[in-house]
Amino acid sequence: MSQSHLMNTYARQPVAFVRGEGPYLWDEEGKRYLDAVAGVAVNTLGHGHPGLVKAIADQAANLIHSSNLYRVKRQEELADRLCELSGMDRAFFCNSGCEANEAAIKLARMYGHSKDVANPTIVVMEKAFHGRTMATLTATGSRKIQAGFEPLLSGFARVPFNDIAAIRQVASTNREVVAVLVELVQGEGGVNIVSPEFMRELRQICDEFGLLLMLDEVQTGIARTGTWFAFQHSGVMPDVMALAKGLGAGVPIGACLARGVAAEVFKPGNHGSTFGGNPLACAAALATLDAVEKQSLLENAEKVGNYIRQVLKEKMTGVTGVMDIRGQGLMVGIELDRPCADLVAKMRDRGFLINVTADKVIRLVPPLIFTEAHADELLGPLAEEIVAFLEG
């Protein structure tokens, strides 16, 4: 076997996993790893979760796919559950995060045209990550991701992250602005968190100017930050919300939820997806939501996330080169003063999977079943490697 017939889109690490159980993965040689990446915030329930496995197997034996030409009962059930948990009104199902954002972007444009805005414009943030399709990479605030794919789309206006004054400025001067798209905790951008006042003021601005408040909760959604959705920390409701990563706990599924006028924008024929919301994917998502409830994973994410940050802060006191330790729930960022991608291999050699994003930020997004004992297992070696790296 080789990688020569794979398109060269990833600089892959030289390891292949063959089995997983709980927060552990095993490679081909039988070496065990503690997984603090969780398939990039995807494996909500860890690996080999019996309830999830059974739900997938049962659904597969019964019906994997029908079509959105027909009613899909599991999809209706999942939409009911997500709307009940979030307070949103309607869901559109797709297969990934970029597709969930793509639906949000199309929805915002159609909403704009319904108000006779000729060139509907969406306000997006610096350092944002919204995906790799043409619309979502245009919305993404990273030249590295956009370079080589010009022409980009029109209809986006960029402002600095967490800068409510900049949003007000654009909203009050550009009559074509119809929506604001934002991550409440930027994942790929380096675990950057908006301030508590941000959501409230953003809601005010959106109400004042008739804009849709659209949240990309692809990474923060489904209990990751200690609440079902990150917006619930503020209690301020969005008009549109994109979900994906953790929703199916590893089975590909995305969702675009909408509320109020935004929920009534799409009519038959406006948008679609062949696979979106098929019975198999919805069964996985329903089983994920069940397990999050049954295993109290909201509480666990908050508790273990706080524990990780507290232990790290203790271990890193007085270590020069550690700029910040931050996060929300089981999204943890450790910002160093220099690029630190080398730490990934160092930790992998010792049997731990971590991630580095935005060059200088160690990102921990373990499965939500992570315990304080798992955290202890990880944090000793991680602290040692960070210190050695900074001193080296």
Ligand X SMILES: *Cc1c(COP(=O)(O)O)cnc(C)c1O
- Residues at the interface with ligand X (CB under 6 A): 96-98, 101, 129-131, 183, 187-188, 216, 218-219, 244-245
Give me the least distance between CB of 347 and ligand X, in Å please: 22
Q: How far is the CB of 236 from ligand X (least distance, A)?
A: 19
Cβ nearer to ligand X, comparing 354 with 379 = 354
CB of 63 to ligand X, least distance (A): 24
What is the number of the residue whose Cβ is closest to ligand X?
97
Instruction: Count CB atoms within 10 A of the CB of residue 200.
Output: 13
DSSP state of 153: P
Closest CB 31 distance from ligand X, rounded Å: 27
Q: Considering the complex, what minimum distance in angstroms separates the CB of residue 188 from ligand X?
A: 6
Instruction: Provide the CA 1 distance to its chain's centre, in angstroms.
Output: 32
Of 41 and 164, the one with the shorter C-beta distance to ligand X is 41
| DSSP helix/strand/coil, 75 | helix
Minimal distance, residue 183 CB to ligand X, in Å: 5
Closer to ligand X by Cβ: residue 193 or 218: 218
Q: How far apart are the first and last CA of the chain?
A: 37
Nearer to ligand X, 132 or 168 (CB): 132
> Would you list the DSSP string of 235-295?
TPPPSEEEE-GGGGTTS--EEEEE-GGGGGS--TTS---SSTT-HHHHHHHHHHHHHHHHT
Q: How far is the CB of 244 from ligand X (least distance, A)?
A: 5
Distances in whole angstroms, Cα of residue 215 to Cα of each of 124, 218, 281, 373: 11, 9, 22, 33
Measured from the CB atom, the residue of 88 and 125 that comes closer to ligand X is: 125
> Which residue blocks in the chain are alpha helix, DSSP H?
38-41, 50-62, 73-86, 97-114, 134-139, 143-146, 164-173, 196-209, 279-294, 297-316, 342-349, 372-391
CB-based contact 249:284 (threshold 8 Å): yes
Nearer residue to ligand X within complex by CB, 140 or 315: 140
Q: How far is the CB of 341 from ligand X (least distance, A)?
A: 18
- Please, are residues 102 and 135 in contact by the beta-carbon 8 Å criterion? yes
User: For ligand X, which is the closer residue by CB, 96 or 162?
Assistant: 96
CA distances from 249 to 71, 81, 220 (A): 24, 16, 13
Q: How far is the CB of 101 from ligand X (least distance, A)?
A: 6
**For residues 245 and 315, which CB has a smaller minimum distance to ligand X in the complex?**
245
For ligand X, give the closer residue by CB, 214 or 336.
214
d(CA 222, CA 284): 13
Q: Could you tell me the CA-to-CA distances from 33 to 21, 39, 100, 206 in Å, in that order?
A: 10, 13, 31, 45
Handedness of CA 125, 44, 371, 196 (dihedral sign): positive
Closer residue to ligand X, CB minimum distance, 113 or 127: 127
What's the min distance (Å) between Cβ of 384 and ligand X?
29
Pairing status of strand 177-182 against strand 90-94: unpaired
Contact, 140 vs 130, CB < 8 A? Answer: yes
Q: For residue 19, give every residue at least 6 positions away whose Cβ sits within 8 Å of its Cβ, in sequence order, or none.
A: 25, 26, 47, 48
